[in-house]
Structure 1
């Protein structure tokens, strides 16, 4: 699991550790790890031009100390001090003692073989200040390495409020930061390198599944399993106008590990024609038979409200997607309040904006996309549900504030029907007994892998391509490394 902690948590852990260590030890550890990453990014250290963009405070100090280490190995290290009066004294002294020098020439940025972004660190909020803003658009010769977080990116949320310095790599000290895993900040972070410095941290509020974590969440039938013991997922989706949504949701559900899929809706004929293993009825959730979880809403049209109400009246987990979310936004949070079984909501940014309006929050789709973590957590707390907020970074948030972000996927997943497949997949995992947080994050991980697999064959992909890729994605996660 990749763990991410807030700036406040990191600062508290650093303060506790500094109190037990000789002065300068912690910064020395950070600088050593940073210098090692930088050395690996350079074709050779000796003779390379290294520039430090140094702000005030410890972030600039880490960069200056790392540059001093590179200078001792023969690098031509320079420091451009953005606030000379407040430059980190010990870091600057170490750089000068190692043969480095200061410069006031901004063109040094374009000549450098490597740039260390030490402008602002965990304490930075908002866009780059005027003195540093030009570097966001200057051409570059070599990689830019961010020290802990790219300057201009909010470390806790990934929000980018204005000019920010895009990094090719970010070296994280002690733990990842949430803003490095969540767009738009993730797009500025480049490749992440984690350097351990000995911090004792609390449980992480934000996580990202890695391969072994996702594999561990996938259900595996036992020797005595049958289709009912494995769980039955109900799908209430599709309409005369949108029968394809039902076909796609059932396709996703078939690959979520449940033993059977029970479909109810007006697209029964289309579903059986494409998926003869599905159990079908047109009677709605209230009379469809026993299931362990419901998926409601994809392409539901005018029937979505009734299907949502009937599903919520059952005692099993409910996943609400698409048209069911539109109805929920109209009904408000009272519709899910106090329900004994959990609810998983799977909105895209536009649907999230409508749900937020039901909580009295004024935000459009663009603002939701810019504040993904906030939006997912606000919806989860307001509706008492787990929220899977879809997008370039999918965020899954529980009502208690815990969140997971998905790092798999491809831009080709932005295609009609892709979300229907994801809804069916996540609902099927719910039916196997997974918690909404586990079901949502495992489904997003699998869905992203399937999208990558489909896109890897070249050219545009369809939602059916994604569904077809789920089998290979599942097998790849479960296989030993040597068998992939």
Structure 2
């Protein structure tokens, strides 16, 4: 599990640790890890040209100390000081004593650089780059250098992932002690590149519950339903799927395809697409409707492709006493009070446009503040919310559980019908017994992994049906971790 903590929490942990260490020890730990990461990216340090963009904060100090370490290994290191009178004195002195220099012409140095260290702003930065830093950031990005962000890319916001103004887009980020939420959430995540975490001893000083977390293979392996010797199709769970219409019959087929791969023992389909569903998946149980007359289910997935037929079906499903996933056309008809008063869990799975409509804001506002948006939706509806998009986020109502970010997303999922597959898959996980937060997190993870496997296997672009077809491979890939990770069974 990757865990991320907000700036206030990280700073409190750093203060506790620094009280036990000699002065400057924590910064030297960070600088050592940063320099090692840069050396790995350079391959050959001796003779490499390195530029340190150093602001006035601790990140500037980290960058200067790392630059000094690279200079001692034979790199030519030039510092560009954005606030010369407030540059970190110890870091600057170490750099100069190690053979580094202050650049006479920042733009000439950047044009010739092999690697640029972005230490312009720290984790407390807000509102994008200042005007004087923008030309330097553009010059760094326009060079042939590898740009390495120190802790997080300058101009991005650590707690929210927002980018409110111009920001430096890094090729890689080296962060210290703990991930920050912005490194896992777009749009800041998209500016970070691959992220390397350097341990500096904060672990025992951080709280047990993070602000944000991201599942990894081992976590998904532990959560995936696994049939026992005494299991039958009903004990494994039956998921009801209400999807499709005369206009969108494919939504029914794709939602059922996802549901059949999700771990439940049986799929009960309700809707006008019964003939298409049976033709493609004869193992499905079909019913014309209404959902409440279809027979016993352990969870419902409702909404994909329902079109104008959605209102009655959604009302009927929400009146049930089992978990319900609501997607697509079903989301248009939601009343917060109806959802909040349900006795059983509800999982909403909007994309940014649907989330914007539910919140009464623009799509751009949701996409620029994804973390705030998913939290607000969960609070407003008293439901778990899976906000789809470039970073899929899953938030439960209340503050007890951290938001989850899905690390397996891929742009190839931006294809018609992929959300229908996700709805069926996640609904099946609900029926198999996972709670709404786990079902949403595992469903998004497997969905993204399946898309990656489909793209690698068959080439790109991929279709939603190919994503569904790759779900068994994704489950097998995750379950294989049981053989290599102690404690996963």
The two structures share one fold, judged by TM-score above 0.5? yes
* C-alpha separation in 2, matches of 1:50 and 1:460: 39
Partner of residue 360, structure 1:
none
* C-alpha separation in 2, matches of 1:298 and 1:229: 26
* C-alpha separation in 1, matches of 2:383 and 2:169: 35
**Which of residues 355, 360, 366 in structure 1 aligns to 2:358?**
355
Structure 2 counterpart SS, 1:373: helix
Partner of residue 477, structure 2:
476
**Which of residues 294, 299, 304 in structure 2 aligns to 1:293?**
299
Please, what TM-score do these two structures have when normalized by structure 1? 0.96
| Superposition map of 1:47-446 within 5 A | 47-107=47-107, 108-138=109-139, 139-199=142-202, 200-202=205-207, 203-328=209-334, 332-357=335-360, 363-401=361-399, 402-446=402-446
Structure 2 counterpart SS, 1:283: coil
* C-alpha separation in 2, matches of 1:449 and 1:132: 38
Partner of residue 26, structure 2:
26
Structure 2: runs of 5 or more not aligned: 485-489
* C-alpha separation in 2, matches of 1:353 and 1:246: 25
Q: Is the 8 A contact 2:218 2:482 kept in 1?
A: no
State the Cα deviation string for residues 432-468 of structure 1 (Å, max 9, x = none).
1101111111111111111112222213221111111
TM superposition shift of 1:482: 8.3
Structure 1 counterpart SS, 2:344: coil
The list of structure 1 runs, each at least 4 consecutive aligned residues, that deviate by more than 3 angstroms after superposition, is: 480-483
State the Cα deviation string for residues 333-365 of structure 1 (Å, max 9, x = none).
1111132211100001110011112xxxxx211
* C-alpha separation in 2, matches of 1:432 and 1:135: 53
Q: Is the 8 A contact 2:269 2:287 kept in 1?
A: yes
* C-alpha separation in 2, matches of 1:283 and 1:419: 23
Relative to structure 1, is the Cα distance of residues 287 and 213 closer, same or farther in structure 2, using a 3 angstrom cutoff? same
* C-alpha separation in 1, matches of 2:39 and 2:245: 59
- Number of positions where the alignment pairs a residue of Structure 1 with one of Structure 2: 475
Q: Is the 8 A contact 2:392 2:409 kept in 1?
A: no
Q: Is the 8 A contact 1:53 1:117 kept in 2?
A: yes
* C-alpha separation in 1, matches of 2:111 and 2:169: 14
TM superposition shift of 1:136: 3.0
* C-alpha separation in 2, matches of 1:284 and 1:419: 23
* C-alpha separation in 2, matches of 1:83 and 1:163: 19
TM superposition shift of 1:137: 2.4
Structure 1 counterpart SS, 2:148: strand
Q: Which moved more, 1:400-409 or 1:109-118?
A: 400-409
TM superposition shift of 1:63: 0.6
Q: Is the 8 A contact 1:236 1:284 kept in 2?
A: no
* C-alpha separation in 2, matches of 1:246 and 1:287: 19
* C-alpha separation in 2, matches of 1:13 and 1:216: 30
Q: Which moved more, 1:316-325 or 1:298-307?
A: 298-307
Q: Which moved more, 1:346-355 or 1:17-26?
A: 17-26
* C-alpha separation in 2, matches of 1:315 and 1:181: 35
Q: Is the 8 A contact 1:52 1:116 kept in 2?
A: yes
* C-alpha separation in 2, matches of 1:42 and 1:460: 33
